[in-house]
């Protein structure tokens, strides 16, 4: 039984860094009146290389912080943390706020639109080694052929350089992997990747479709809020963008992910 939330309470979003801002941006598009608290755990970036136990510990602490800020819904805007910690976070705080991840809405999209297709998936080592997408596809008995490959250095390189041509060298090596050939679509299973969508497309000789689930996730959040009568229809949206470690490079790159100027604030959660 959830406590009585009110629509004006914020939505909490977190990621290992500023990549989750791609999801936050989609959320703002579909839910322009919502108050938003974003938390990027830049002190621990990248999550993709961390152990499941470490990511779980970070995620539970961040979720508690967002609860203290009275969030009505908490969205884990990171595939690595969704894979490693969603069930645990839900167990800890699911009675106090709605908890969502970025994987389940994507699976629903695959079910609706990609039956009988061959899908390549790229993500962090944590996401790929968890086999979470494959397990969910198998649990639903979906006729989808999925091959996954960990493109581990990509997220950190994107945070460091943005959408820069140095990324092409990584893509050249990663996307040439046999598991990522002969596919109908490539699923971006990392919230950092949408900003290099065009570069990825250029690396495929044959036209393929890119599956960027940020909009689908935003629509799923909207649906949940509607279902719980928690949609904030009035007022102006107040947004805070916190990071656990503030650097000039994070501040400079934030616009790339969010699509417009934002101010990052330091939130010393780990001090």
Residues annotated as catalytic (active site), given as ranges = 78, 190
For 258, phi and psi rounded to 5 degrees? -90, -20
Contacting residue, 65, 84, 150, 155, with ligand DGL by CB under 6 A:
155
Three-class HEC string of the chain: CCCCCCCCCCEEEEECCCCCHHHHHHHHHHCCCCCEEEEECCCCCCCCCCCHHHHHHHHHHHHHHHHHCCCCEEEECCHHHHHHHHHHHHHHHCCCCEEEECHHHHHHHHHHHCCCCEEEEEECHHHHHHCHHHHHHHHCCCCCEEEEEECCCHHHHHHHHCCCCHHHHHHHHHCCCHHHCCCCEEEECCCCHHHHHHHHHHHCCCCCEEECCHHHHHHHHHHHHHHCCCCCCCCCCCEEEEECCCCHHHHHHHHHHHCCCCCEEECCCCC
79 near ligand DGL (CB under 6 A)? yes
**Taking the complex as a whole, how short is the minimal distance between the CB of residue 130 and ligand DGL, in angstroms?**
10
In this structure, the dihedral spanned by the alpha carbons of residues 126, 66, 233 and 24, taken in order and rounded to 10 degrees, is -30
Q: Which stretch binds ligand DGL (CB under 6 A): 3-11, 128-136, 186-194, 257-265?
A: 186-194
In the bound state with ligand DGL, the residue whose beta carbon lies nearer, of 136 and 192, is 192
Nearer to ligand DGL, 49 or 184 (CB): 49
State phi, psi for 107 to the nearest 5 degrees: -60, -40
Nearest CB to ligand DGL, comparing residues 80 and 224: 80
- Single out the segment in contact with ligand DGL by CB under 6 A; choices: 62-70, 123-131, 243-251, 255-263: 123-131
Please pick, from the candidates 56, 124, 130, 224, the single residue that binds ligand DGL as defined by CB under 6 A: 124
175 and 120 Cβ atoms separated by less than 8 Å:
no
Asked if 101 interacts with ligand DGL (CB under 6 A), we say no
The nearer residue to ligand DGL, 34 or 212, going by C-beta atoms, is: 212
Stretch that binds ligand DGL, among 59-67, 121-129, 175-183, 251-259 (CB under 6 A): 121-129
Report, in Å, the least distance between residue 134 CB and ligand DGL: 16
Whose Cβ is closer to ligand DGL: residue 47's or residue 114's?
Answer: 47
Quick check: 148 binds ligand DGL (CB under 6 A)?
A: no
Give 93 or 190: the residue with its C-beta nearer to ligand DGL.
190
115: which 2 tokens?
A: 């039956």
If one asks whether residue 40 binds ligand DGL (CB under 6 A), the answer comes out as no
Q: Is 15 in the site for ligand DGL (CB under 6 A)?
A: yes
Least distance CB 123 / ligand DGL (angstroms) = 6
Q: Is 190 in the site for ligand DGL (CB under 6 A)?
A: yes
Residues that bind ligand DGL (CB under 6 A): 15-17, 19, 45-48, 78-80, 123-124, 127, 155, 190-192
């Amino acid at each position: 039984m959830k406590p009585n939330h009110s629509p004006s309470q914020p939505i909490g979003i977190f990621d290992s860094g500023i990549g989750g801002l791609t999801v936050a941006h989609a959320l703002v598009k579909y839910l322009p009146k919502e108050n938003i608290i974003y938390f990027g755990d830049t002190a621990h970036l990248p999550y993709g290389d961390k152990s499941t136990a470490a990511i779980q510990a970070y995620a539970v602490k961040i979720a508690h912080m967002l609860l203290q800020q009275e969030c009505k819904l908490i969205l884990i805007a990171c595939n690595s943390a969704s894979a490693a910690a969603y069930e645990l976070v839900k167990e800890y705080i699911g009675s106090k706020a709605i908890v969502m991840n970025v994987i389940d809405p994507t699976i629903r999209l695959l079910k609706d639109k990609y039956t009988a297709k061959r899908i390549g998936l790229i993500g962090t080592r944590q996401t790929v080694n968890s086999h979470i997408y494959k397990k969910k596809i198998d649990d639903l008995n979906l006729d989808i052929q999925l091959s996954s490959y960990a493109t581990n250095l990509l997220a950190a390189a994107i945070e460091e350089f943005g959408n820069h041509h140095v990324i092409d060298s990584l893509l050249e090596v990663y996307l040439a992997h046999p598991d990522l050939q002969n596919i109908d679509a490539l699923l971006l299973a990392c919230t950092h990747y949408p900003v290099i969508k065009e570069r990825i497309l250029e690396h495929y000789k044959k036209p393929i479709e890119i599956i960027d689930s940020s909009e689908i996730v935003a629509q799923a959040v909207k649906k949940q809020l509607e279902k719980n009568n928690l949609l904030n229809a009035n007022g102006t949206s107040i947004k805070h963008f916190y990071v656990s470690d503030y650097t000039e490079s994070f501040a400079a790159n934030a616009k790339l992910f969010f699509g417009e100027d934002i101010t990052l604030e330091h939130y010393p959660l780990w001090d």
